[in-house]
Structure 1
Amino acid sequence: MIEYKENLKTATLEKMVSDRYAFRMRRLTTTMFLMALSLFFVIGTASAQQADPRALGTFNDWLAYSWNENGNKVCYMLSRPLKSTPQGVNRGDIYVMVTYRPKSKSAEEVSHVAGYPYKDKSTVDALIGNNKFVLATNNEVAWVPEGGSDEKLIGAMRAGSKMIVKGTSSRGTLTVDTYSLQGFTAAYQQIRKSCT
């Protein structure tokens, strides 16, 4: 079992979120991301400072942030797993995130970053109590598929005490990440309030 709770440091998570943010947006293709990244560097330092995440607070095991994306305020919350199995596998950053974009057609999005590429065309199970949610995957990110309901998953997260995420890496390794949902509701209310 790998313990992650002690690594829940704001500076580390801000950098992690900033570096990997584009990969969590399910509707952007890799090409669009590279174009946006190029544009980001062309615009310059002033725009880069505008895009830096701003902490909204810590809520037990969840952190909440906001930032500007194309002139629109975006809020998100994230948490790292309390435990992750198996031990000894090579993984990068692991976290679950809820993004709130009030001006977007899909205002709320839940995503899980596994720290490794998922097996091609595989799905991920998110288990909360007796509820099972099947997530789509692309590279190292899992999310509620088109036609699914982020609202239902968020509702279960608000009502639950823990969430278990099971996925399979491109090498065939089954991983299990266990998240605490303590503080989820308070963090969720904060991102809704801050981005309304």
Structure 2
Amino acid sequence: MSSIRLVSFAKYALAIANKLIDVYGANGLTGYDIRCSFSKTITVSSINDKVKHTNHHFIVNAFHGHAHNRCCQLSKGLGIEDLETCEHVFVGSNTVAPLIRHASHFYWLQFIDLQFDQWDQDCYEELSQFLYNNYHQVLHVINKLTPTIKELKQQLDLSDANFEQWNIKELQYLEALATEPEYDPKRLTYVKVLQSLAKAE
């Protein structure tokens, strides 16, 4: 498939990325569940220079990062944010479908407008609880994991920089792989022998 054809399939996503950069400026992030392929599409698009100049990055949400490949898991992210806002909106708007299936165009638009007006009101009412819950969840994760990580860092003489370097090195290694390594039964046997040895000891 040619690069021009790829860009034509992604024209809406490209238009959205372009608009986001225009509105929000430099150093932005866009979450997209096909970040891997879309980042490649960006490089052959007319907005590639704009994306580079504004230091705009594309990230993938946690679920899709773990679903596709290790490179996605090692890329930038947003912590516990699931980036599924569009999915939530679509699921919420699906409840309107049975009501407007046989409606005229006017009523179809009216019900959609009412749905999203109610959506906005509900989200606004729940905003403080949402922020509180996220803040509470983050504090819980920090308080629970910080002592364990601190102890591990002391035992292994590690710093935060080590973790960041390992991620960078692993990502560079994976990106440099043109193909997967050939299957080597000797290595598999060696690992099994080591596991047996560990159990025996």
Confirm or deny a common fold (TM above 0.5).
Answer: no
Q: Greater strand share, 1 or 2? A: 1
Where relative contact order (Cα < 8 A, 6+ residues apart) is larger, the structure is: 1
Structure-2-length-normalised TM-score? 0.23
Structure-1-length-normalised TM-score? 0.23
Q: Greater helix share, 1 or 2? A: 2
| Structure index of larger Rg | 2
